[in-house]
Each structure stands twice: as C-alpha cells, then as structure tokens.
Chain A
Amino acid sequence: MAPPTAYLASVGTCLPGDPVDNATLAKLVGVDETWAEMFTGNISRYLAVDLATGQIRHSLADIATTAADRALAEAGLEPGDVDCVVLGTATPDHLMPATVNLVADRLGVDNVPTYQLQSGCAGAVQALDVARTLLLAGRCTTALVIGGDVCAKHLQTDFDPGSRTSAELVNYVLFGDGAGAAVLSTEARGQGIEIRQVLNRLVGLGREPGQVIDWFGLGDRHSDRTAVFEDYKAIEASVPVMAGQMFWELLDDLGWSADAVDFLLPPQLSGRMSDRISAGMPAPEARRVNVVRTVGNNGNALPFLQLAELLRQWDGPGRAVAVAIESSKWIKSGIALERS
C-alpha cells in the first residue's frame, strides 16, 4: 500500500469582535495614532477584551472552538470524524487543563490523541508538522490543527499612558487576538491541496531570546519581572535571514525552483516589517500573502489567517510556500503546498 498523502482539507478562522482601529486605540490606550501607524504599519487588530470596559469577552478556547468549527464545516466533517487534535499557542487559558482539551470538549471530540504545543509564531507550523506526521504514519486520517493567541492578560486597560515607555506602548499597537484552524486529511477533500513538506528548526543555540512572555503565580506575582519583552533590533536583524534560509531549504527538499512558486506567505511581524521582509525574499514573481496589517500580530493564528487568504486567492494548479519565524528562542519553520 502506498504511504498516505496529507491534504489541507479546509481552513477556518475567528477574529473576536469588531476591528479596533488606531484611532480607537489612541483614544482608549493613549498611544499616538500617527505614531502607531508609522511605527508598525498596522491599521487594525481584533481584541478579546473590551478595551472600554476592561471586560474579557472571549477566551482562547472560545475563539479556537469557533475557528475549528468553521474549518470542520468547511470540510463537511463532523467532530466525530476528527481523530487527532493539535493546538499551538503562546497564551493558553490555563496551564492546566490544556486549552486543546477544552476546545475538543466544546466541539464534541473525544477518545482521540490531543497535543498542545507551547509556542510562539512558529507554533502553527509545528502543530501542522505533528498532525501531518501522524497522518503519514497512518495513525490518523483526519487531524484538526489549531493555532491562536489571546493577549488580554497582558493588556492593562486602567493605566496612565503617560507613564509608559514607547516599548511598552508598541505592544498595544502590534498585537491582536485571533484563532485559526485547519483540517488535514489523508483524503483529497476540499480544494485538493497537498501538504508536500513541513519543516521546523530550532536555531537558538547561544542566542539570547528575542521575545519573552513571562507568567506569574501566587509566589511571584509581585515580582518586578517584565511580563512582555521584545528585542526589536535583534528581530529586525535575524528574521529576514532565517526566512530566506527556510525558503531555500524547503525548495531544496522538494527540488522546486523559485520561479515555480506561485504564492509566498512570509513571516508576519508587523505590517511594516512584513512588507520589508516580504520584498526581500526570493521568488519575486510569487504573489505575497500578508495579513498582519489588518488583523494585528495574533501569533499562532497568523499562518492560518494567511492560509485562509491563500485559499481565497488560489485556484488551479500551483505551488505555495509559507515561512514563519519564532523570535523567542529562535525557530525557523515552513510549509510547502501544491495542487496538481
């Protein structure tokens, strides 16, 4: 029997509430509207918290469930068809129980292997990697892969904007909340797109983390550690290089040439930076799929939002390559898709 093939059957997404534009953010958080746009290039984002009241309206489990339900509906599958669930997130609702299992419960999925990957921007690709591996190994036939983040925990809505540094304020402008999901199948469901390759490489040896999100409990809740830290300089310097390397590694693996790539899904950091990285990447003829400018950096959801946009634009045969770089302890990752 020939080894199975892993297909991308469908993608579903969920962005909570109405988009929050820079003007609204400026009003509620006190950042300067022009500065916000100039610095990040992002024009809107979606938030699980109601900035005006500070009320948290959606949990990660809420939006991940919705995204997953949409992906299943899109694939024409029922929860009972799912035989494995993998979720990647940097911001689980709890450390225990894992959010993936709360999502499974909400969907009505039971008696299947589930995995949750603690991960940053490469998490979606890692989750796809785990799912595809299970499919190819013949362990599963229908995998539900989810990625999402909710940064409500890190958004203080009752502070004096004047007291914040611009490094702190930029987080408000940069990040957003969202979730995405994909159904992977050994059957050529949906648009018949084959997942040809998924790669993940930790490249953090000896490198300082470029991004840290801390967590606190009863014992250290009064500690003065920074909850969120980003080394923008290091990110700006390293991400384009790693993105290029990952792109070529995928192509070499598959024996593809750069001019045969129809779509490129570059790493999504901020609207401005993604445009720059995107422009600097190989395969200039490949159509770029960038979404961060309007949805904000919602971490593990981003690759799914890019995939959803890709499916809208893509018809007929062709090839697509997606690259995601995680700047915490530095991971480069990528996916190659093909429809014949």
Chain B
Amino acid sequence: MTEREPIAVVGLDCRFPGARNAQEYWSLLMDGRDGTDRVPEQRWDADRYYAAASAAPQSAREARPRGRSNSVRGGFIADPDAFDPGFFGIAPREATAMDPQQRLLLQCSWRAIEDAALAPQDLAGTETGVFVGVMANEWAYLQLADYDRITARYGSGNGYFMGANRVSYHLDLKGPSLAVDTACSSSLVAVHLAVNALRAKECDHALAAGTNLIMTPVINIFYAQAGLSAPDGRCKPFSASADGIGRAEGVAVLVLRRLSDALADRQPVYAVLKETGINQDGRSNGITAPNRWAQQRLIESVWRRAGVTADDIRFVEAHGTGTLLGDFIEAQALGELTSGRGSGSVALGSVKSNFGHAEGAAGIAGLIKAVLALHHRTVPPSRFADDENPKLDLSGRRLSLLRSPLKLPSGTVHAAVSSFGMGGSNAHAVLGSAPHAVHHSRHAAPGVFTLSARTPERLRANLLAQADALSRRPGSQLAQLCWTSNRVKSRLPHRAAVAAGDLPTLVAGLRKAAERAEGTARVDGGRRGVPSVAFAFTGQGAQHPRMTASWYRSCPAYARHLDEIDTLLAPHTGVSVRDQVLDADAEVQGARLAQPALFAVEYAMAATLTEAGIRPSYVIGHSIGEFAAACAAGALDVADAARLVARRGALMEKLPKDGGMLSVSLGATEVEPLLVGRARLGVAAVNGRRSTVIAGDLDELAAVEKELAERKVSVRRLTVSHAFHSPLMRPVVEEFRRECADVSDRRPALPVFSTVYGRELSGEETMDAAYWARQITEPVRFAEAAGALLATGVTHVVEIGPRAVLTPLLSTLRAEGDHAVSLHSAHPGEHAPGHRPQELFGELWCAGLTPDWDLLYDAADRVPRRLPPYLFDESFRSWRSGAAPGHPEPSTPSVPLGADTAAVPSGADRGESCPPAPAGAPPDPLAVLTRRLVCRVGGHDPQHVHDHDRLHEDLGFDSIRVMELKTRIEDALPQLGSLPIEDLLASLRTVADLVAYLRGQLPHGSATPLPMTMEGTR
C-alpha cells in the first residue's frame, strides 16, 4: 500500500427526492428534473405552519411571523414509512419504535453491499466499519416528548449512535461504528473518517452513509426565521434567482475499500477517492456564517495532498445551497484556485438544484453525484444554470455552470466535492475515475443463476427485477452474472435457480420461475440440524454414448477428475476410456469397457460434487456402482479400483454371451419358486418390493418370461451383454478373487450400505477380496440396503451415474417408508441439457445444500458484475406525524396510551386477532394461545407467524422481549407457576419449541390449559 492509497467506491445505494435508487437518481440528474414537492400530509399539515412573507413588512415580526415557515415545499423521499422488519429479524413493535432513519439505513446498507457484488453475510463477523453522517434527530422530538409513553424499546429506537450501531448489529459488522454530526457536512465528514479508517487498516471495508428525514417543521421554521428559507422550497445555487434554502431528505450508503483490495478481487469500481479533508472556520464572522478563507485553505490542502491542480479538476460538485451569501463566498474561495487554470474552465454544479438541501445527507448526495458522473463519464447539468448570477463572475474565475451534460474524456479524470456545515465544519474530497481493468470471459460458458428471498412473494418480485435487468445486459456476461448471483444472492430461505447456456434463455427461465415463486417452500422447511447426503452409485446398463460429455465440456472440475481417472485406467484398459466415452464409441456398450467407463464417470462426478462441498455422509452402490461407492467411502484405493474394474470387465467379456436379464414386477419371494429346477438362473437384483431381476441362461429365461406372460405379470428384458449376478458368472469368480488378493482392505471412513449384504457394513467388515468375489454372483440387494439407508434419516440422496436408474427405485421406497428425503439424479440421461452440472447445483441448492459454486466456472468467469440489489417488502408501514408538542396533528388518529404502535398496518393491535389454525387439524389450544402471546408481544401479523419461525432470528425476540413473553405466559397459564428464564432462553428456538416446552411444563391432566384469560377473550 502506498502512503496515500486511493479508496475505491465499490457499491452504493441511495434514496433521494424523486429517486428511489441510484439508477433513478442518475436519470433525475441527467434529465435535470425537479424532485421537490409539497409537504406530504403524513409529515405535517403544511398550511398550519405556513405564512407567506408580507410583500411590504412593517416590522421584522410581520416579515417573519413566529412559528411559521414561508414555504410549503421541499424534497421528500417516497415511502419513508415502509420497512421490512422480518428481513432483519426485527419485531414489528420494535420497528415502530425505531427512528425511520435507522430502518432506511439498514435497507440501504444491505443493498449497497449487494451492489458491491458482495454478500452481506460474507461481511458478517469482519471488522467492517460503519460511519453515518446524521444531523436530524426529529424522531426524538416526536417520540420522547411524552415521558409516560417511554418503554424499554425507546432506548434502542432513538439516538444518532443507533443509526450506525444498528447497521453494525444487524449485519454483524465489528469495525468502528459511529454517527457523525457536523451539521450539513456530516456525511462527507463520515466519508473522510471512513477513508482514514481504511488507510489505517482499522477496517477492510467501510460503509459511509448519510441520512436526513424531515419529520417536523422545526428546521423549516428556523430557516424562515433566520431569513435562509427559499419561499418556493427550492435551492437555486449560483443563480440570479437564488433566494435561500429548500430542505430535502435523503438516505445513502457507500461501500468503500482500499483500491488495491478491490482490484485484487476484480470488483467493479465506480470511482476512487483520492483524498479527503476537513477543517473548521474557527472564530469567524458569526458562528453560522460561512468563511471564505477556511474553505479556500481546505480545498487547497486537499488538492495538494491529492497531487492535483485546477488544471486536473474537470468538475466541482459545490456545497451550493443557493443563499446569496453562501454562493458568493463559495465562488470566491473556489475561484481563488480555479482562476489559475491554464485553459478552459472547471464545471460547477450542485445537486441541491434538483431537490434541495439534504442537510445530514447533503455531502453524500453530492459525492454520489460525482461518483456516478465519473462512472458514466458524463457530468449532469445543474438546474437554474441558465440564469447564472452575474455578480459571482463565474467565468472570470474559470468556473462554468453546466446547462447541458458534459461528456468526460477517456483516461483519468478528477473531480472535487465540497460540503460545509452551518457551525463551520467544512469537508472536501477529490475523486478520480476508476482505473481500467481487463476481464475476458470464456466464450459461451453456461451458468446457473441463483436468487433467494425471505418470502415467496419477495422471491417473485426479485426474480422479475433480475429478469428485467439481465435482459438488458450483453450476452457475453452470462457466466459472470451467474457467478455473481451465486456469490451475492444465495443465502436466504426461499430459493430459485435457473441454469442456462445463453442470456435470453436465462431471462425467460427467471420469468417462469417468478410465476412459480409463490409456491416455493422455505429451504430448511423449518427443519433443524445439518443436512446429510448419501451418494447412490448407478449400476451397469446406465451407460450410453457420450454419457456426461456435457459435464466434461461445461464443468472444468469434472473434466479434471475424468482426466485423472482416465490416466489411472489406461494401463489396464489399453485405451482411453474418456475418449471412448466422449467420442461415442460403440465399444463402451460392451462389458469390457462399460464397467470401467461407468466407474470413471461415477468417480469423476462424485469427486466433483465432493470438491464442491456436497460431501456424502453415506454411500450405496448398485452392482458395479459399488466400486466408485467404495472409493468415495475410502474403503478402496482409487488406483486399485481402476485396476479391478478394468479386470472385472475384461473377465466378464470373455464369458460366452449366452445369458440375459429379465426385470419382473414381483417380489423376491414370489420369484424364488420360478427358479426351482432352473440351475442356470438366479435372482440378480432385488430393487423393490415388487421389482426383481432374474438373470441367467437365455433359454431358461425365455421359459420364465413365457410363464409370467401367461400370468399377466409385466416383465422387461434388459439390454445387457451378459447375465450379471447369475450362476453364469461363476467361472470368473476365482480369478477375480486372485486379482483382488493384494487389495488393502481398509475400513470405510463412511457408512457403506452394502448391496451384497442388503444392509450397512458392520464395524469390522471391510470390502476385501472375498467381498468383491462374492459380489459377482450375489444378487444386488438394493431394496434392503436402500431401505436401511433411508431409515438413517438421510436428508438428500444424489444418484451418481449417467442416468436416473436408482432415483425412481428410491422414490418408491421413500413413499413406502414415508421418508422426507430429497432425491436427485446427477445426470438424468441422454436428454439432460448441456448445462446439467449447473442445473444440478441449482437443484441441490434449492433443496437446502450449499455447493461451492466456483467449481462450475472458469477463473476468467469468476468476475463480479453488478446485479440489482434486493427489493424489500414494503407492506409494513409506521410513521409519526410531526405535530408540535401538546398540539396533536388533527389529521392523525390519537394513539392509545401504552400502545407504542403509531401506524401498524390495518390499525389493529395484532395480538388481539386470532391466529389461523393449521388447515385440517383441530386447533391445539395451547399452540393457539402461545402464538397469540408471541404475536401480542412482538406485534406480528398472526398470518405470518409459523411454527417453524425462530423466535430470535425470524421474529426478533431479544432478551427484553423474552422476559415480556414469559410474564404474559405466566399470566395466561397460572398453573405453570414461575418459568425459569434460563430454561426459556436455552431450550427455545422456534415457536413450535415453545409450545412443546410449555406442554412439558403443564401438570398432567391439564392438557387443555384454558381458562382463556382476559387477553384471549374478545
């Protein structure tokens, strides 16, 4: 790191008047639109605090009537009352007690991190810093004025510090976390502190934020009284019509990193902060008056440290409040430096012309404008620039207001941003355009796009948003976009995955997934504990020409593993099994090569999945599949296995081709009588309760087939070269046993469900020479072995093989045994799409597993690309209107004492309504009561509280709330007595746990707990 390492702006999100996100902000700026509006009714009654300035005032009092503002306009953001408390595990009641600035900062922070192509979960636990510029604490005026209504929640819902600390808490960020108040320069000062913290290595990532919500007319009245308020509510910086300030709102977050780190991670960079600085006016001409000399000294020193002069700076985003004095002083201070420019002029503008002065968020509003301008290489025009104040002599100072957008040249370009505080704290920053980086993508590489959300409804909305955005991206970025989605958007419980080989297919797939989104289940389904996976290896007959060729082409890791195993097999097979498979050589169908070929693809598939973190806890193999299974379990060395399968295939190939195999839909016991007297027939496999395979001599088999046809039993001939697992195999057994003699018989590292024994291998059993010799003629006892496997409670079974053969058998067994296992076939067969590995990873992830996605992509495609950030649920609303203390707003319904909700949706206190009973079951009175109490304490909508919801993570129950719940439960169920709090905290995870716990505590015989208490009766 150099001494003054540039700091990269890698992510951002913002909400400003007339702009709900960064994209809308940019178009507002480029279109030169006005974001101001009349004061929304929800804030306060604008007319009530309005008095027009008299045209010919007789006195100061008349010019500025007391308690009134001269304007009814300002810049207000849309939907400041909306929040997604459930997303952050915050109880609705707590959310209503939170300063809305905290809520909006949380959402903006999440989105800004996603915009940086990072998963917020990946920053959790790191020393990421949070620096929030804030000067408005209007919430406190409203919320804390009535002492009698102060509850425990108010402490955490209020205060500047909580703006930053809450972000650190909910995102689990452990670096510096502080709120900064230097009045109107707060957010640029916050950026300065973040830059210093990054340079000092106090943190590796920093969120620098600014926020300002206008909840009361207090500052409006102050500005009016001070003669600083523009009657039309608009700032008109550097304009002849400048007549004061219009107030504005804003919430914005930047994600900052040291540039070298960002480049090493190939992260997209919007722009870099070359240098920042702050100073103070000191004892100047009045504490609120701006100071030319202090401004000039600051700008000079920051430019010097950044190593730039007026000739390098292309544009300056000025403080530019649009007060005559402020504009004049700023033009003088800046002009002192810019007038020395060799040629041309420095473009000058201020975003305040678009929506007003965002106070605590003003500095960051200007900074984001400059960052986006460098990113788009275009400086947006300034409103009111066509009415320049001639007294400022801007052209003489080589400054020019932009009346139309300025296209920036290629190469490094510099810009500067100023933000000054009313109390004299000044901040300034110099930015540079992002350095160029070359990122090639692999041509036509497929990918799997993963998207997750907290609810099915949000999943749908986010899928559609991604589809819209992707439809406008270049097709060459497909794999990179997919990889980014895997990295950034794959951690929430409702999931959708779409694999595709080209972008139009992906977009169509996402739209289709959106249609189905409402039906998606939570990925963990409320289940506890870690998932366990079994690999089930397919047996002979599954092979087909070019099997898994698509894996070889589209999954670099699979190609590597197949190459490896091919090298091990080659000395024993004499040919490259890999080439035979990929070239669709017919020889692969014969026993000699079919067995090593199946072993090779299964070994490579299993190795690929294992490398991707999909590690088996159990294995099972059907016939030849047991070799790859034994390797996966560590029971057989892979080089030994390669030699054995080649030998096994070669031995069998030499046997006369006089055998066949017949699948019959009968149980094994019904088959036995058919074999009596037919010495050259045997049971080859027991695949299910009504699925058995008979193998042996062709003539005898034909006789059985005829007999069964007469009995109308359905039978099917298998296309095989030999009668495997039949008496006809006996001639090769001894030679194969000798071949196996030197195989080290290792104890498996994983439970192996042996299809020779039809059960799990017991403690001392190994897969030794005797085992493999016996395996040749023994029936494949798949049904028994698989039944034992499913009985372990395994959560996922992945069939490893080139075709889905075991999956349907397992599906039948699952239904018979009523197991909740999730079944997957790694490669369903010839018709699997070319991007099957990608599809499989998506499928496994949707089923709750967490693959290492990197394995699916070439290094060149593991480049983060920006995707639209998460769209939050906006159905929760809470706001407090800005009535003066003791003068309740007539438009606001009065709030009952003790109810700390101001505007929860549907008005009612949620706990009072009856939660729905599970469909089809009679309502469990204890469960109903428990849920009602939970909803009452948390303020949740009973419709959205489920048994599997976790009290802490999903419903936001902290220790204060658990105490409250304990009291409520004790009141409602007096027979319980006092509940030990440590028991409650230790044994409770979900709502269902709580119900079970309470049931256990109730004395026997009082299974129905109810007397309904006052709370429970309507």
Q: Given A65-B475, A69-B475, A185-B410, 12 other A-B contacts at CB below 8 A?
A: A17-B502, A57-B502, A69-B474, A73-B439, A78-B375, A80-B375, A80-B378, A81-B410, A81-B436, A83-B409, A83-B410, A111-B405
Which residues from 54 to 77 on chain A have a C-beta closer than 8 Å to any C-beta of chain B? 57-58, 62-63, 65-66, 68-70, 73-77
Interface string of B469-501 (1 = CB under 8 A from A): 000111111000000000000000000000000
* Min C-beta distance of B506 to chain A, whole Å: 13
Inter-chain contact A73/B440, CB cutoff 8 Å: yes
Residues of A bordering B, CB below 8 Å: 12, 14, 17, 57-58, 62-63, 65-66, 68-70, 73-78, 80-81, 83, 105-108, 110-112, 141-142, 185, 187
B377 within 8 A of partner (CB): yes
* Min C-beta distance of B736 to chain A, whole Å: 44
Task: Name the CB-closest residue of A to B379.
Answer: A111
CB neighbours of A14 from chain B (8 A): 475-476
Inter-chain contact A76/B475, CB cutoff 8 Å: no
CB neighbours of B503 from chain A (8 A): 62
* A249 CA to B441 CA, complexed, in Å: 39
Other-chain residue from A68, A69, A70, A141 in contact with B410 (beta carbon distance below 8 A): A141
CB neighbours of B377 from chain A (8 A): 78, 80-81
B407 within 8 A of partner (CB): yes
Task: Name the CB-closest residue of A to B863.
Answer: A73
CB neighbours of B921 from chain A (8 A): none
* Min C-beta distance of A103 to chain B, whole Å: 9
B815 within 8 A of partner (CB): no
* Min C-beta distance of A6 to chain B, whole Å: 14
Other-chain residue from B405, B411, B434, B476 in contact with A66 (beta carbon distance below 8 A): B476
* A58 CA to B407 CA, complexed, in Å: 32
Which of B405, B407, B477 has the largest count of A CB atoms less than 10 A from its CB? B407
B376 within 8 A of partner (CB): yes
Inter-chain contact A62/B504, CB cutoff 8 Å: yes
* A58 CA to B471 CA, complexed, in Å: 12
Inter-chain contact B474/A110, CB cutoff 8 Å: no
CB neighbours of A185 from chain B (8 A): 410
B437 within 8 A of partner (CB): yes
Task: Name the CB-closest residue of B to A65.
Answer: B474
Which of B376, B436, B475, B504 has the largest count of A CB atoms less than 10 A from its CB? B475
Which of B376, B408, B410, B436 has the largest count of A CB atoms less than 10 A from its CB? B410
B897 within 8 A of partner (CB): no
* A66 CA to B473 CA, complexed, in Å: 8
Interface footprint category on B: 20 to 34
* A57 CA to B503 CA, complexed, in Å: 10
* Secondary structure type dominating chain B contacts: loop
Inter-chain contact B476/A69, CB cutoff 8 Å: yes
A-B contact pairs, 22 of them (CB 8 A): A17-B502, A58-B504, A62-B503, A63-B475, A65-B474, A66-B474, A66-B475, A69-B476, A69-B477, A70-B441, A70-B476, A73-B438, A73-B439, A76-B436, A76-B438, A80-B376, A80-B378, A83-B410, A105-B472, A110-B378, A141-B410, A187-B410
Inter-chain contact B440/A74, CB cutoff 8 Å: yes
* Min C-beta distance of A189 to chain B, whole Å: 9
Inter-chain contact A76/B410, CB cutoff 8 Å: no
CB neighbours of B376 from chain A (8 A): 80, 108, 110
Inter-chain contact B474/A68, CB cutoff 8 Å: yes
CB neighbours of A80 from chain B (8 A): 375-378, 408
* A314 CA to B434 CA, complexed, in Å: 31
Q: Given contacts A80-B378, A110-B376, A111-B405, is CB(A142)–CB(B410) below 8 Å?
A: yes
* A293 CA to B157 CA, complexed, in Å: 71
* Min C-beta distance of B415 to chain A, whole Å: 13
Other-chain residue from A17, A108, A111 in contact with B407 (beta carbon distance below 8 A): A111
CB neighbours of B378 from chain A (8 A): 80, 110-111
CB neighbours of B407 from chain A (8 A): 83, 111-112
* A141 CA to B436 CA, complexed, in Å: 15
* A63 CA to B476 CA, complexed, in Å: 9
* A69 CA to B438 CA, complexed, in Å: 12
CB neighbours of A78 from chain B (8 A): 375, 377, 434, 436
* A12 CA to B410 CA, complexed, in Å: 20
Inter-chain contact B474/A76, CB cutoff 8 Å: no
Other-chain residue from A58, A106, A111, A112 in contact with B473 (beta carbon distance below 8 A): A106
Which residues from 381 to 416 on chain B have a C-beta closer than 8 Å to any C-beta of chain A? 405, 407-411
* Min C-beta distance of B9 to chain A, whole Å: 14
Which of B30, B375, B437, B474 has the largest count of A CB atoms less than 10 A from its CB? B474
Inter-chain contact A74/B438, CB cutoff 8 Å: yes
Other-chain residue from A17, A57, A141 in contact with B409 (beta carbon distance below 8 A): A141
* Min C-beta distance of B23 to chain A, whole Å: 11
* A75 CA to B436 CA, complexed, in Å: 9
A-B pairs, top 8 by smallest CB distance, nearest first, are: A69-B474, A80-B377, A76-B438, A66-B475, A76-B436, A81-B410, A66-B476, A65-B474
* A105 CA to B27 CA, complexed, in Å: 13
Task: Name the CB-closest residue of B to A112.
Answer: B407
Interface string of B500-513 (1 = CB under 8 A from A): 00111000000000
* Min C-beta distance of B554 to chain A, whole Å: 13
* Min C-beta distance of A311 to chain B, whole Å: 13
Task: Name the CB-closest residue of A to B473.
Answer: A106
Task: Name the CB-closest residue of A to B26.
Answer: A110
* Min C-beta distance of A44 to chain B, whole Å: 15
* A108 CA to B474 CA, complexed, in Å: 10
CB neighbours of A63 from chain B (8 A): 475
CB neighbours of A142 from chain B (8 A): 410
